Amino acid sequence: SAPAVFSVGSAPTPTRMPLLQLLNYIDGRPVASRSTARTEVVDPATGEAYASAPDSGEADVDAAMTAALAAFNSFKRTTPSQRQGFLLKIASAIEAHADELARLECKNCGKPFLLTLDEEIAAAVDQIRFFAGAARQLEGRAAGEYMEGLLSMIVREPVGVCAAVTPWNYPLMMAVWKWAPALAAGNTVVLKPSDTTPVSTLRMAELMGAILPSGVFNVVCGRRETGRLLVEHAVPSLVSITGSVRAGREVAASAAPLLKRVHLELGGKAPVVVFADADLETAAADIAVAAYFNAGQDCTAATRVVVEAAAYETMVALLAREAEQNTKLGSATTMDSEGVLVGPLNSRAQLERVKGFFDRLPPHARVVAGGRPAGGRGFFFEPSVVAGLRQEDEMVQEEIFGPVITVQPFADEAAAVAMANGVQYGLASSVWTSDHARALRCCRAFDFGTVWVNTHIPLVAEMPHGGFKQSGGGKDLSAYGFEEYTRVKHVMSKL
């Protein structure tokens, strides 16, 4: 039988199956929206609508916030060991439903099934278990007599109700990155998934609801206006978003009147700096995977390659070979096949956006692989490589969010650093070289929150993820990410 957050409605027609009717999840149960507005949810691999989600309004957001606030009053009193127990049970429930959740994620996002199961669902389970442990490991300054006769101590407390807005590229995992540290610290959550990808989040909420007290975790579906209502509501003390720079600016502006804390994980334009002394064949193969994973729809994707001039043409040729011969592009009927790396883009709008970059290419640019939609059903775009670009070009400066690698030459180390840092973003980067001292100099010079050396894109729960400049502020994952969802109180007592 279908999960309670889904119901079958809208009678089938000769050309269309009935749509799943999605419900919000508020106060421990699926709830119909008080708004009559709906949004269609489309399978990107086929281009066909298969579900309908609420476009929630003020009454829905208010109901979720009321439930979260009521739950916070008791949940904040739970002990770290109790919260750890909740998270461990949730991790086990998600693990037990891994195949189901992966299927939902793949249909909603167009992802390759085997990769999603191994690289995303398993990782999300591990991250929940990390935060379950972190719940019992908060650290602070030692209590002490910093003034004679007065004992001072530090108390870390939950901040309150947290409003979270998640993106469409990794819906389930990005939701975990927000609710897991928030709940581990004793907060409650109201989360809005992207309007194009709400399905896996709703099913996860239902699994969580069987374990958590009512109202601790709530999901409200909707478009941008629903997100604005979440952010501007009087209840949340913290707002966390993963999304574009534009979305981050809007959230920060909406949160400003009430001076709410904001946690922003925004866009990226990761430089991949390759020196001539690197193992070029290995680098090209690894870079292609890091660039084309999730169809390049990743803010850390290795899509901006900067190569020492002596190795430039060799690297261009190697990357073109990876794109054309060694990168398996899926189709509407092959997304379950072994070896498929590149699925469709999220939506027709995203497909047109990526295509637009190619329509506007300057005359000096050279498309050496791909460069066009794959054709057929769905929103597939060919794995692409573009050479001959200059630092000021749109493809170099703006986040494409598609399976597109750009390649630029540099003259020396100083030029490489300048080109790497010469964008508005500061999320992630990598350097490829056999010279250890050079690698460390680049790590020091790169203005990015993560620097990988001779690899690109691996993440672990124990280490922080977050950027500088227009890539936002705050950290996800790690103990640093956990602390984002706490506040510090000084208690002083007379002896």
**CA–CA dist 104, 176 (Å, integer):** 16
Which tokens hold the place of 249?
């600016």
Q: Which pLDDT value is given to residue 216?
A: 98
Task: Please give the average per-residue pLDDT across 220-232, as a whole number.
Answer: 97
Is the alpha carbon torsion for 402, 407, 413, 414 positive or negative?
Answer: negative
One DSSP character per residue, 262-283 reads EEEE-----EEEE-TTS-HHHH
Q: Report pLDDT digits (tens) over 191-212.
A: 999 999 999 999 999 999 999 9
- Please list the active-site residues: 265, 299
Distance, in Å, from the CA atom of 341 to the CA atom of 291, rounded to the nearest integer, reads 10
Q: State the pLDDT confidence band at 18, using cuts at 50, 70 and 90.
A: confident
Nearest to residue 17, comparing CAs of 54, 58, 57, 49? 49
- Helix extents (H) in 327-449: 348-359, 394-397, 413-421, 436-445
Mean per-residue pLDDT for 394-418?
98
Among the listed residues 232, 237, 272, 269, the one whose alpha carbon sits nearest the alpha carbon of residue 252? 232
Q: What is the pLDDT of residue 10?
A: 44
Q: What integer is the mean pLDDT of 177-189?
A: 98
Structure tokens of 485? 């969802």
- How far is 67 from 262, CA to CA, in rounded Å? 21
Q: Is 318 helix (H, G, I), strand (E, B) or coil?
A: helix
- Residues in Cβ contact with 412 at an 8 Å cutoff, skipping those fewer than 6 apart: none
For residue 162, the surrounding DSSP H or E stretch is: strand 161-165
- pTM to 2 decimal places: 0.95
What lies within 8 Å, CB to CB, of 327 at 6+ separation is: 288, 292, 341, 342, 383
What pLDDT is recorded for position 15? 55
Using alpha carbons, select from 200, 214, 388 the residue that is nearest to residue 305: 388
Element (H, E) at 172: helix 171-184
